[in-house]
Each structure stands twice: as structure tokens, then as C-alpha cells.
Amino acid sequence: MPKDLLLEIGLEEMPARYARGAMDELRENTLKWLEESRLAHAGVEAYATPRRLAVLVRNLADRQADASEEVRGPARRIAQDEQGNWTKAALGFARSQGVDPSELYFKDTGGAEYVFARKSTAGAATEELLPEALRGLVTSLSFPKNMRWGDCDLRYIRPIRWIVALYGRDVVPLEIAGVRSGNVTKGHRFLGGDAVIGEPSTYRDVLRGRHVIADAEERKAAILAGIERLSREKGWRIEVREDLLEEVLFLVEWPTVLAGSFDPEFLQIPQEVLITSMREHQRYFPVFDEAGRLLPHFVTVRNGDETSLDVVRRGNEKVLRARLADARFFYAEDLRLPIADALARLERIVYHEELGTMGDKVRRVRRIAGRLAERLGLDAQTAADVDRAAEICKFDLVTQMVYEFPELQGIMGEDYARHAGEREAVARAVNEHYAPRHAGDRPPASTVGAVVGIADKIDTIAGCFSIGIVPTGSQDPYALRRQAAGIVSTLLAHGFELRLDELFRLALDAHRERGLKRSEEEIERDLKEFFALRVRNVLTESGMRHDVIEAVLAAGADDVRRTLSRAKVLQDAVSESRREAFRPTSDALVRVCNLAVKADSRDIDEKLFSTEAERTLHGAWRQAHARFEEAVRDDRMEDALAALASMRDAVNGFFDAVLVMVDDEAVRRNRLALLASIADDIRAFADFSRLVI
């Protein structure tokens, strides 16, 4: 008869950021075990709080399903002798599968006959499987960080303090790290005591009676409801960031939402400082008015009931006041630090042992940014702003505020630069050059911030690649993928006429003085492949078809803006409503490219044309070539594709009337040179052979 199964792992408080991952892994591992064990069930539920991980299997079958599988043995020529008798190999196979030799049979597999046996296995009782299975579920959980305690060999996120293992009303016997399983759980550390769980289905209710909400989504709903209630009552706009909510969710077992206040005089400090201090240090939610101005209040979540909330509120206010007083002191001290003195301190900060100090990095960024400003043709004032912003873009790294709150780098730099009398464009760029800071963030809005941001990011990427730090797999400790994606998004947002290969050379020029550990050819090759993947991601996120992406990337991704434009035009051309009309054009262009690979020259001699079809194609190409180059230069990719398509009839007429691979070498080379010249334009747009039409 099916019964519910409960496994609860009781722990010391574990880090909130690991709880959900562990809960999900426990659920997935349980589902995997159930499937592999052929155990029927009615669903699996997982729970997590700071002190426990649990999984509940509904209506778990009391036995495994019987199994029947077909097992292949030796080939027929090995399994039988010339008289048709079973050989030792066949008899050994039958014995190993637990079947009588008379039950063996032959089947044709891949053109040869093999002996087979049908092996049946009776399902075992569930209660016999559970002790070892539950032990495996507990010990197989993986965590980013583990610890050992006492004389235990087990490494785990936190010490295991109790284990509940119930199948129906029966305790499943097991012992892990000196802890024996039972049916007694622990409630809230301060509000609830021990509790006996009679059967698994009562788990959530038993814990609720001990002031523990085991279901993470139920706790989340309770927190959001409390915040919403406060928002309505006070007329506040409470900003609930998902990452902070997720952390708070796994810091509490019995959430109670409350509000507190701080002295309005602290509002003289930049708003970002106050918000960061509340979020990062105290896990508080900031409060705003309808106009988006920060108010001298905060919202927090207590791990407990509503008893003595005033005392809890005053305690939180006291702690926050001390935090904000420190922030105010840091801010005042930082404002007294001249930017020139801050820049001098950068010379004592090691950026990377092989890439020099932070001062060295700033000089490289300034050099690259200056070259970019020149390359982009920026006006004198904008170029001067770029130079100054690049020079001071890292000065706030030595301030006390950024030392305390590293996530405020750039944000504080903008404020301090403005107070120091820097131009608004310069101050803004000190902050903007870090953007985009994370997935979903926007690139710099200003030209100055964009140029300095590109220079900073490409210096980091090229520097790392030059010393052999190239992201592989999931390893990317320097966030090079994010920075490369930031460069791509910035180029697209501002429409800069700048090729990636040019950018690589500018960066390597700045690094060449210190000496490169790898050859420039190797570095540029790796950079090209690395950025091509980032461009591929942009195309994928833009909804481009896989074959369209492959086609346009085959033509190169150095010009990011035009690569995206080519993809959009090609995607439209192969859309359901247009692809049949486009197919003849694509076929003609592919035909040209297929034969053009045999060419070894682009030198065309019109005197060697002996047919009207050759002259017609040459004339069509010259007209199309001029139109194509002009359209590409002006980023009119639809016109560029139209120019290529205009040659379709001439191409088909050429292949219908002309034999390219003739015996006369001069004529053959001339015809191949014509096709190769046309193919160069075609391949500059896309590899049409990769399209699936």
C-alpha cells in the first residue's frame, strides 16, 4: 500500500544564498532516484528554511515495479558450434543473466546475428531500499563551500543536528555523522520546541505549530503581504529587489514585517550610499515617496512573531544609525581628498602582478580612449572630456566609501568628481564607464562614458588574454564575458563606426610596451573567437534563426552593427512569406561561391571573354559591386542584398551558356577570376549555403 515518505535534514543555520540551490538539488536527486528505482509516486515537494532541508514524496509505492529487459550476448558464430550446440560463451552468458539456455534467442543487429536473453527482475520492497537511498540523498548534496566538525569525515554546508526519516508512520533507520534518524523535528529556535511528526503528511502543519513555515513560497507570500500592508498604510513605495527578497526569505522561518526610521539628517548623504548601507549590511528594504525620493524609513523582516516589536524596531534603528554615521564620516573624509592625491595612491595598488598597478591600467585606458576619440572623429571638447574622464575614472577606488562598499565604485566617483569641480560630462562618465554592470543593465548613455567604458573593458580583456587568462567552460573569474558583452552592446547602442579588429589592435598597442607573453597573432585569434560568441548571443537574443546566424557570422563579426543589420535583412528574406521567392537567388549565389573556390586570382581580362553570357555577367557584377559597396558603407543592408540579387539572371545565364573548366588555361583562369570577384561580395554579406530554405 502506498505511503508518504519524509526526509528532513536538520542543520545549523546555513548561508541564505545556498538554501534554494540545495533545496532544488534535493528535489531533483529524489526524482532521479525514484525514476531509476522504478518507484511510483504522486509527486515530490521540497522545503527549506535556514535550519532545514526537506523532501516529501507523496504516495510512494511499497514495491518497485518488476523489470524486464533484453540483454545482448555474444555473436552467433561464437555462441553456437558447427553442430548448432551452445558454446561455453553462450552458456556463460545464460548463467550470468539467470536464464535457462533454452530461453536464448537470436536477433539481427547491424547486419550480424547476436544471441539475446530476456532478463526479468522482481521489484524489491521499498522499505528495504530506503536506508541506503536516503543516506545517499543526504550525503550527495553539493554546496559551494563545505565544513567539517568534530571527528566526522563528512564535509557539509553546516553541521547536521537531527534527521527525520519517515515512511508512513515508520522511522527509516540510518545514521549520518553520528546523528540517528527519528521522527522528532525542531521548531523555531526561540519560539518553538521539539515536535513529533506522526506521519509525513502532517509535516508542514506540525512545523507551523512550532512557528516554522517550511514552504519557501508560502514564506515569500507572507513577506510580500506584510510589505504591501505597510505600503498601503503608510503611503510608501517600498522597493523590493528580487535578490534581497531571496536572501531575506532564507534568513527567516517565521517572518514578521516591520518598519523603522532613521534621522532625516542622514539624507544629506548621497541616496545610493544610504540604500547600499541598508541593503548590503542590514538587509533592509529602502522606502521612497511617490516622486522616487528616499524617505528616512526602512522595512525589515524579523525572524519571529510580533512580540516586543517596538524593542526590535529600536534595536534595528540603533544599529542602522551607527552604520549611517560611519558612512557620513567616510563621505566627509573622502570629499577632503584631492583627486590628484587619489590618483597618486593608485600607483600603490596592484591591478595584476603581470599587468602592473592600477596606475598602469589607467594610463593604458587613457591611451586607448584617446585613440578611440581620434578614430571616431569626436569634436575637441568631447575628446578633452574623454581624456580627463579616462585619467580619473578609477580615482574613487582609494576612497573610504568605496573600500567599505565596493559596489559603489563609479557612483561615488561621479559624486566626488562633481564636488571637485569637474565638468558634468566627465563626472558622469566616471560612473557610466562601468556600465553595463550586470545582465539587463544598460550601456553608457553618454558618448564620453561609452568611449571610456570601451577602453577600460578592452584593456582588461586584452591584458588577460595576453597573459593566457582566457575563459574556459564556466570559469571566468575576471568577468571577461560580461565585459565583452558590454563592449558589443555599447557599440550597438551608439552606432560607433568601429570594427572589433581595430579595437583589438588599439588595446594590444597599449600593452606592447610591457611585453606580451603570447604572440599577437594568437591573442588576436582568441579575441576574435571570443567576441564572435558574444555577437552570436546578441543575434540569438534578437530572435534570429540559427541558420541565419551561422550564415552572417561566416562573413565575419568585426563590424558588430552591420552584422546585426545583415542578419535582420537575411532573416526577413527567408521568412515564410518570402523564402520561396528568395530561393532562386540564394541558389544562384551559392552556385557562384561553390565554383569560385577553385580560383587563384581576381585579375579579369575582358579581352578573354568569348561569349555574350560572360560579358553580361561581368557588366552585371560591376554595376552590382558599386551598389553593394555603397549600400554596405551606408548600412543599407536591404539594398546591399538587392544588389547581389540583381545578378541572379546573369549568373544563371552564365552557367547555362558557359563551361567554366575548359582546357584553355587562360580562359579558365579568367572565368574563375570573374566568379571569385563576385563571390567576394557574396561572402562579405553571408554564407548563403548555410541557409535552410
Q: Supply the DSSP string of 598-625, one letter for each residue.
A: T-------GGG--SHHHHHHHHHHHHHH
Q: How far is Cα 397 from Cα 413, in angstroms, rounded to an integer? A: 8
Q: Which helix or strand (DSSP H or E) is residue 58 part of? A: strand 52-60
State residue 151's pLDDT score.
86
- Which pLDDT tens digit goes with each residue over 442-499? 999 999 999 999 999 999 999 999 999 998 877 888 899 999 999 999 999 999 999 9
- Measure the CA dihedral 535/539/540/543, to 10°: 170
Q: How far is Cα 192 from Cα 380, in angstroms, rounded to an integer? A: 71
Decide if 677 contacts 658 (C-beta within 8 A): no
C-alpha angle 58-59-62 in degrees, rounded to nearest 5: 135
Residue partners of 85: CB distance under 8 A and separation at least 6: none
State residue 228's pLDDT score.
97
DSSP-assigned letters across all residues of 160-217? EEEEEEEETTEEPP-EETTEEEESEEE--TTT--EEE-SSGGGHHHHHHTTT----HH
Strands 179-182 and 160-167: parallel
- Which pLDDT tens digit goes with each residue over 129-161? 999 999 999 999 999 999 999 888 899 999 999
State residue 121's pLDDT score.
77
**CA 399 to chain CA mean position, Å:** 31
Decide if 236 contacts 274 (C-beta within 8 A): no
In a 3-state reduction of DSSP, which class is residue 299?
strand
Q: Which amino acid is at 578?
A: R
* Upstream peptide bond of 436 is cis (omega within 30 degrees of 0): yes
- Retrieve residue 214's grid coordinates: 517550511
CA 321, 325, 326, 328 torsion-angle sign: positive
Three-state secondary structure readout of 126-160: HHHHHHHHHHHHHHCCCCCCCECCCCCCCCECCCE
Which CATH fold would you assign to the domain 341-541? Hypothetical protein af1432 (1.10.3210)
pTM over 0.75: yes
Decide if 116 contacts 107 (C-beta within 8 A): yes
DSSP 8-state secondary structure symbol assigned to residue 441:
P
Nearest Cα residue to 136 out of 105, 176, 88:
176
Nearest Cα residue to 119 out of 63, 67, 64:
67
State residue 65's pLDDT score.
87
In a 3-state reduction of DSSP, which class is residue 473?
coil
How many CA atoms within 13 Å lie on the side-chain side of 163? Answer: 20
| H helix intervals, 436-479 | 447-466
- Which pLDDT tens digit goes with each residue over 626-644? 999 999 999 999 999 999 9
State residue 515's pLDDT score.
81
Instruction: Give the CATH number of domain 571-690; options: 1.10.3470, 1.10.730, 1.10.15, 1.10.405.
Output: 1.10.730
- Which pLDDT tens digit goes with each residue over 398-411? 999 999 999 999 99
- pLDDT less than 50: residues of the chain: none
Count CB-CB contacts under 10 A for residue 310.
Answer: 8
State residue 109's pLDDT score.
82
Residue in the block written with cell 527509516:
172
Count Cβ neighbours within 10 Å for each residue of 469-504 and write b for 16 or more, e otherwise.
Answer: bbbeeeeeeebbebbbbbbbbbbbebebebbbbebb
Distances (CA, A) of 239 to 383, 560, 693: 39, 37, 49
C-alpha angle 71-75-80 in degrees, rounded to nearest 5: 110
State residue 152's pLDDT score.
87
Task: Name the residue ranges covered by the structural domains of the chain.
Answer: 3-63+125-208, 67-121, 216-335, 341-541, 571-690
Q: How far is Cα 411 from Cα 427, in angstroms, rounded to an integer? A: 10
